[in-house]
Amino acid sequence: MAKPRKTSTDALPAESPAGELISMEEAIERLKTTRPTFARWLKSGKIRGHKIGRQWRFYPKDIDAFLKGQPVEAELPADIGPLLEQIRAFYERIRRAQVPPIEGRNVASATNHMLLLSVEAKASDLHLEAMLQAGSSEPVGLLRIRIDGELQTVAQFDRRLLHPLVDRWKLMANLDLNDRRKPKHNRIELVVKQSPLDIRVSVTPTAFGECLVACFLDSTQLTFDLDKMRFHAADLERIHAALKRPAGLIVVTGPRGSGKTTVLYALLQRLAGPGAKTVTLEDPVSVSIPWALQTPVHPETPFAESVRALLRCAPNHLMLAQLPNTETAMLAVDAALTGHLVLAAMYTDEASGVMARLCDIGVPPMHVAETVKLVIAQRLIRVLCPRCRKPAEPAEDLKRRAEEAYSRCVPDAAGLTWNYHEPVGCPDCAQTGFRGRVLIAETLEVSERIATAIRRGRPAHELREIAIQQGMTTFVADGVVRAAAGETTLEEVLRFAPPE
Ligand SMILES: [Zn+2]
């Protein structure tokens, strides 16, 4: 790990408990080095010195610490103790086992514990920022982590600590410490608790100073196995059938954070192999898939131009992590019309919205009808913690809405057997009552009847009705079944229900 670069030039405390100061010559003698080397160490912050008038002075303990290879402890603008204490308290909330001791009241120790905490809590991302709280005019520093899609506040701290903390991350990520005006990002690979951890670090300047987001990608825990994603048997069958087609467009749709990338990777994993050329355009490439030629979006190259370049690679399969504009959508449709199997992500509320969106942005309905083979729409919902959930009766109005949504796909709502549970909270689930997430999904296969409706310009809700008549289970109905089985709550499912 890199050492903090800051060199303290603060005025000396009147009474020093750390012993007598020594001159630079004495320090050089103590280290048995040369003056230029010493000057370089001093300049880079490896040695802590104090400037008194025009002379450098040193505490022997700092020189000895350098000899032993201990990192310099930069002086902090505020007490870091309360932050460490809150990290420890959060740790206790989520762990039954012993809390690891926190050594050193410094930025390095705080950062290590933020990392450990995030790994223990299975957080997907960590946020360090400063912002106003309701009813106060002074911004405070905040440390938050996202567990199962929900941001949780770990600590509030003195805002003056934000920059030293962000600097520590910037050092680890090899980002420019001196520039606080431009956004920047990089990746770090660390080993935490014996497992490799891939972290994407982004630093963004805000009105209250730089803020940091660290996204964790634990590649050992990710599963891209379609068969293990718990799609319904009928959905899985439709997906496998679509993947066997030589050409066409398969769209994965849903809002941000609905698991589109995971599903796309699972599809990609099925397609890629030594017998085919599979290319992708992603922003960024978050996981490497064997046999896929994955390319990141280049900030200065227009998306459509990158798509054209990839099509010149003579691919069989093309995956586009987004369709940002009409030009790109047209290219994807053209590719699908000319013998490529194209996977793409879009942002619509439900499956039938994809066809309407493509027509809206200018793709001729005839081409939409011809190319789109399958749409997968999904959400990620939180799963009740199996350790602390407790049996309960669902609220009457929620139950009624759930049965209505269910009976729209399955005529016999009485077939729903209720073994409902509600969340409680224990150390296993960070007191949230939920642990982990699961996909709920709907797959819309473009049948001949649906293709005809698309060509005639019929609206999304009509396409949806036909799909339901032809056996599509909506993701809300999928979720209702899971809630009835005690796997999740109705609130969790129904917040995704389209408005009546
Ligand atoms: Zn629990």
pLDDT digits 0-9 by tens, 4-16? 433 333 333 333 4
Q: Kindly give the distance from the C-alpha atom of residue 127 to the centroid of ligand 1, in angstroms, as a whole number.
A: 24
User: Residue 11: its pLDDT value, please?
Assistant: 36
pTM, two decimal places? 0.74
**CA distances, 297 to each of 76, 198, 284 (Å):** 39, 19, 7
Q: How far is the CA of 431 from the centre of ligand 1 (A)?
A: 6
Quick check: 414 pLDDT over 90? no
Q: Can you tell me the distance from the alpha carbon of 297 to that of 284, in angstroms, rounded to the nearest whole number?
A: 7
CA–centroid distance, residue 148 to ligand 1 (Å): 13
pLDDT at 95: 72
pLDDT of residue 14: 37
Looking at per-residue confidence, does 144 or 148 come out higher?
144
Q: 423 CA to middle of ligand 1, Å?
A: 8
Q: What is the mean pLDDT of the chain?
A: 88
Quick: pLDDT tens for 109-133: 899 999 989 988 888 899 999 999 8
- The CA 154 to ligand 1 mean position distance, Å, reads 18
Domain with CATH 3.40.50.300 in the chain: 226-494
pLDDT in tens, 294-318: 999 988 899 999 999 999 999 999 9
Residues forming beta bridges with residue 212, ordered by sequence position: 128, 203
* 491 CA distance to ligand 1 middle (Å): 18
Architecture of domain 81-217: 2-Layer Sandwich (3.30)
Q: How far away, in angstroms, is 147 Cα from ligand 1 center?
A: 13
Cα(428) to centroid(ligand 1), Å: 5
CATH of 226-494, one of 3.30.70.330, 3.40.50.300, 3.40.710.10, 3.40.190.10: 3.40.50.300
Report whether 307 contacts 328 (CB < 8 A). yes
The ranges of the chain annotated as CATH 3.30.450.90 are 81-217
Q: Which of helix, strand or coil describes residue 182?
A: coil
How close is the Cα of 318 to the center of ligand 1, in Å? 42
CA 262/CA 282 separation, integer angstroms = 13
Q: How far is ligand 1, taken at its centre, from the CA of residue 382, in Å?
A: 12
| Amino acid residing at 323 | L
What span, in angstroms and rounded, lies between the C-alpha atoms of 90 and 94?
7
Q: How far is the CA of 402 from the centre of ligand 1 (A)?
A: 25
Report CA(490)–ligand 1 centroid distance (Å): 18
CA of residue 435 to ligand 1 center, whole Å? 7
Centre of ligand 1 from the C-alpha of residue 198, in Å: 27
CA distances (Å), origin 368, targets 47, 144, 351, 371, 451: 66, 43, 14, 5, 8
The pLDDT assigned to 98 comes to: 66
Distance between Cα 49 and ligand 1 center (Å): 50
